[in-house]
Every structure is written in C-alpha cells, then in structure tokens.
Amino acid sequence: MGRAERAIVIGGGIGGLTAAVALHRRGARVTVLERAPSLEPVGAAISLAPNALRGLDAIGLGDDIRALSAWQGDGGLRAPSGRWLSRTGAAAAEERFGGPLVLLHRATLIDHLAARLPPDSVRTAAAAHLVDPGEAG
Ligand SMILES: Cc1cc2nc3c(=O)[nH]c(=O)nc-3n(C[C@H](O)[C@H](O)[C@H](O)COP(=O)(O)OP(=O)(O)OC[C@H]3O[C@@H](n4cnc5c(N)ncnc54)[C@H](O)[C@@H]3O)c2cc1C
C-alpha cells in the first residue's frame, strides 16, 4: 500500500481482529466494528493448533502465544459414554503437525490481538448494517 488506505472490519472476534492487525501492519487505517458492548469473548479456553499459530506468525504474534502454554502429556476425544474416540500424546501431535498445541484463555488471545491495534481502532456497541443501494444506485 503506497498511502494509508481505510479498512473497515466487521466483527471483533478472533478472525476480525487478526484481519485488522494484518491490515494495520500493511499500513491501512483500520476500524473494527463490533456489535457487542465489549470484546469479551464467549467461551473460556481455546486450543490453537500449529496451523493457527502459523497464521498468527504472519502478524508477528505466534511466538508470544506459543510462550503462554503448550499441551503436555496425553489427551484425546471421548464420547459422552466415556469411550475414547481418538487418543494421542502431545509429543506425537507435535511431531505429526509440526509444532505444539497451545491452550489458552480466549480473552488472553483477544487481548493480545487488540493490543496490536492503534488505540480507538475498535468500536464496540457498533453494529454494521448491509445496505443494498438497489438498481438505481
Ligand atoms: C464450543 C466451541 C469451541 C471451539 N473451540 C475451538 C478451539 O479449541 N480451537 C479453535 O481453533 N477453534 C475453536 N472453535 C472455533 C473458533 O472459536 C471460531 O472459529 C472462531 O472464534 C471464529 O472467529 P470469528 O472471528 O471468525 O467469528 P466470531 O468469534 O463469531 O466473531 C464474530 C464477531 O462479529 C460480530 N458481529 C457479527 N455481525 C456483526 C455486525 N453486523 N456488526 C458488528 N459486529 C458483528 C459478533 O458479535 C462477533 O463478535 C470453537 C468454537 C466453538 C463454538
């Protein structure tokens, strides 16, 4: 980008904030419109797989997040009955997918993303509405 272009990102979730940081790093003046009254995320924890962490590498955040916590030991998925659907270990997963699985609080990830944007670039309680100008323009 040769000059500061404007970008509007609708939604201040993980996806929107990541896009906003990427645009900001490319020199755009970004505004994030989030309809919720705050950026406080729904849900508690999130596990970030190596491909997600490589996505965060693209905006310079991957290593900061990797440093927070990594899954250790064994884990997997169970059916409601308790029967194991799949089981694996952190070391096996790391070898297979090329990196650790990082478990962290969603709010921590949101905070790290928002901190990489200039102050006042996120507007909460700001719902965007699509407008169709119609054929007459
Ligand atoms: C129970 C559960 C567990 C999960 N666990 C994991 C996990 O462990 N690891 C993982 O990688 N993924 C996980 N996911 C998936 C992950 O949470 C989502 O892929 C991710 O949060 C999507 O982010 P997003 O920003 O695209 O969307 P969202 O988080 O849905 O954010 C969209 C935002 O846009 C706002 N918005 C919508 N419309 C408007 C509008 N018109 N104007 C303004 N704002 C608007 C909404 O308020 C919202 O804040 C899980 C999902 C669920 C449901």
With the most atoms of ligand 1 within 8 angstroms of its CB, the residue from 14, 54, 59, 69 to mutate is 14
Give the CA distances from residue 116 to residues 36, 90, 110, 111, in Å, rounded to whole numbers and listed in that order.
20, 30, 10, 9
How many domains, in total, are found in the chain?
1
Going 39 to 118 to 10 to 49, the CA torsion angle's sign is negative
**How many Å separate Cα 78 from the centre of its chain?**
26
pLDDT tens-digit profile, the chain (137 residues): 557 899 999 999 999 999 999 999 999 999 999 999 999 878 789 999 999 999 999 999 999 999 998 788 888 889 999 999 999 888 888 898 888 889 999 999 999 999 999 999 999 999 999 888 887 76
User: Who contacts 28 (Cβ-Cβ below 8 Å, separation ≥6)?
Assistant: 1, 4, 5, 6, 7
Q: Is residue 132 part of a domain?
A: no
CATH code, domain with 113? 3.50.50.60
Q: Is 10 in the pocket of ligand 1 (CB under 6 A)?
A: yes
The residue contributing the CA closest to ligand 1 atom 38 is: 11
Q: Which domain holds residue 82?
A: 6-123
Q: Is residue 130 part of a domain?
A: no
Q: At what angle do helices 14-25 and 106-115 cross, to 10 degrees?
A: 20
